[in-house]
Amino acid sequence: MRFALPVLIALSGLAAPVFAQTEPAATVEPAATSLPAITVSTLGTRKLEDHVLASGLIGPVEEVFVPPLIEGQPIETLLADVGDVVTAGQVLATLSTATLTLQQSQMLANLASVKASIAQAQAQLADSKVTAADAQRTADRSAALFKQGSVSMAANDAAQTGATSAASRVAVAEQALQSAEAQLDLQAAQMANVDLQLARTNIVAPVSGVISARNAQIGAIASSQGQPLFVIIRDGALELKADLAEADVARVLLDQTATINLASGAAPVTGKVRLIEPTINVTSRLGSARISIDDTTNVRAGMYAEAVILVVARESLALPVTAVSSAADGDAVMVIKDGQAARVLVETGIRDGGWIEVLSGLAAGDTVVTKAGSFVRPGDRVNPIPETSTN
């Protein structure tokens, strides 16, 4: 116990310096409260694009059916198949010509017979004309002599009758010649018909394009009542018949460009809107647009594809989509001015990816809170931190 007092004195001596060192810290003024750091974006211009999405099946722009132009003849040869690229006038198949060749031989014989009949009728006409002229001269002399009293009435009457009869034979000969010439025209027409049928035994492509179907079979009897012998995609042109949401139909216009993404995984292809159907499907409430395809190398009819139709593209003031909030009174952003937040209503337009067009309410260079959902209220003072990436 006798050591207690010295120990206390010693402890007192040690404690004093400690209090002397810590006392100044207790007298330092409290640090000012830090402002919350908020990420902000600056309103600027960028190219924005508005798109309409559509999807559907790819098919030919125009299919051309190739039926047989004559019936009843068997198919003899096939010279084209599915997938072949053909040109207009190219022979695709041939029909048997045996029956028609026989008919042609008969027509040639009939034609020769008719020509002989015409020659005979012409000779008869010439002979009749000579006889009629001689009979007329005899009748004229008889009439003159009858007036002089040198010929009896009976002889004169016989001469006049002979002239009339000879003239009638001329008329009959002329009609026989006309009939023979008409037969010649008929035979010529029949011959031309046979020639046409023989020519039509060659089944030719009416247009250039790609054969998409072949129903012709060797030995089958050609008939126009069944399926066409061939189906051709005119010029190989394909298009996407795309279904559109009813609300988007009015936004799609002719000649707008489109990017077509194929379900097969092939590279996207480009195209243009070539037709907009004028009606809406009453069941599905979908409209339809036809989009022609520029390069059909890797495209096949029947493929499913999705199209992104470019409706409009322009340079506009834009903000990140996250900067805009929607409320009952409209779209709004939090604008930072002099470090203080203020709520401003804006009119928005195109949404392109992560960006949205600002039509009114802000000016270029305005600073807004990048994320509208941040805990920032009008009147709050903040420490704005510029957005590091604007892509």
DSSP code per residue over 193-262 = HHHHHHHTTEEE-SS-EEEEEE---TTPBP-TTSS-SEEEEETT-EEEEEEEEGGGGGG--TT-EEEEEE
Strands 85-86 and 209-214 turn out to be antiparallel
Q: How far is CA 241 from CA 56, 237, 306, in A?
A: 6, 13, 10
In the predicted structure, residue 72 carries a pLDDT above the cut 60: yes
Q: Quote the CA–CA distance of 370 and 385 in Å, as a whole number.
A: 10
Q: What are phi and psi of 255, to 5 degrees?
A: 70, 5
What pLDDT score was predicted for residue 160? 84
What pLDDT score was predicted for residue 33? 54
Mean pLDDT value across residues 187-198: 89
Strands 383-386 and 37-42 turn out to be parallel
Residue 233: which of 190, 274, 293, 174 has the closest Cα?
Answer: 293
- For residue 319, the number of C-alpha atoms closer than 13 Å in the C-beta half-sphere is 33
- Specify whether the CB–CB gap between 390 and 75 falls below 8 A: no
Cβ neighbours, 10 Å, residue 86: 20
Mean pLDDT value across residues 290-297: 93
What pLDDT score was predicted for residue 146? 79
In the predicted structure, residue 22 carries a pLDDT above the cut 80: no
In the predicted structure, residue 4 carries a pLDDT above the cut 70: no
- Specify whether the CB–CB gap between 302 and 57 falls below 8 A: yes
Express each pLDDT in 115-130 by its tens digit: 888 888 888 888 888 8
The least confident of 23-27, 51-55, 83-87, 258-262 is 23-27
Every domain of the chain and the residues it spans: 38-47+315-386, 52-60+233-313, 69-94+201-230, 98-199
What pLDDT score was predicted for residue 327? 85
May I ask the CATH architecture of the domain 38-47+315-386?
Answer: Beta Barrel (2.40)
The least confident of 2-6, 120-124, 177-181 is 2-6
Query: Which pLDDT band, with edges at 50, 70 and 90, does 168 fall under?
Result: confident
The least confident of 25-29, 155-159, 243-247, 309-313 is 25-29
Contacts of 240 (CB under 8 A, 6+ apart): 54, 56, 57, 58, 258, 260, 271, 290, 291, 293, 305, 307
Q: Quote the CA–CA distance of 232 and 208 in Å, as a whole number.
A: 8
What pLDDT score was predicted for residue 353? 85
Q: Does domain 69-94+201-230 have CATH number 3.90.1150.10?
A: no
Q: Quote the CA–CA distance of 309 and 245 in Å, as a whole number.
A: 13
Supply the pTM of this predicted model. Answer: 0.67
What pLDDT score was predicted for residue 294? 92
Indicate if 52-60+233-313 has the same CATH topology as 38-47+315-386: no
In the predicted structure, residue 328 carries a pLDDT above the cut 50: yes
The whole-chain average pLDDT of the chain stands at 85
The least confident of 223-232, 243-252, 298-307, 366-375 is 366-375
Query: Which pLDDT band, with edges at 50, 70 and 90, does 143 fall under?
Result: confident
User: Is the CA virtual torsion 93, 96, 101, 104 positive or negative?
Assistant: negative
CATH of 52-60+233-313 given 3.40.50.2300, 3.40.190.10, 2.60.120.10, 2.40.30.170:
2.40.30.170
